[in-house]
Amino acid sequence: MKFLVALACLVAVAYAVDDVQVLRNELNVLPESYVYGYELGNGVSAQESGSLKNSEAISAQGSYKFTAPDGQTFETQYIADENGYQPTGAHIPEIPILIQRSLAYLASAKPYVEKN
């Protein structure tokens, strides 16, 4: 909920500072799911939907897009769930294979327990 309030504040500030027109603004919060999205006249947009997976975890997916001062457009899609925040986009570099192997090894290794 704090995230949604922060997002609403961000949209309000962006609108007030740059006098940017809000083209679309949507928010639907239900007890076990939510959807939000907005699009501004300066090309900034975002959308996300989420739902309660079980009584303790929320799974969300969405995307956001903006144009940098140099004119380059950045778009990111993401999933956020029990496995963490997982972004994808053309501007996000791939993880090198050696780091992927190291992470896989660490995930499969038995935890070290120091014996007294």
- pTM score, whole prediction: 0.65
Q: What mean pLDDT value characterizes the chain?
A: 84
Range of lowest pLDDT (15-19, 67-71, 75-79): 15-19
3-state secondary structure of 105: helix
pLDDT on residue 11? 53
Measured CA to CA, the distance from residue 60 to residue 51 in angstroms comes to 7
The predicted structure's pLDDT at residue 1: 45
Closest by CA to 75, choosing from 59, 93, 63, 58, is: 63
Lowest mean pLDDT among 33-37, 59-63, 71-75, 90-94: 90-94
User: Which pLDDT band holds residue 111 (cuts at 50, 70, 90)?
Assistant: confident
Backbone angles phi, psi at 93, to 5 degrees: -70, 150
Kind and range of the H or E run holding 78: strand 73-81
Better-scored residue on pLDDT, 16 or 59:
59
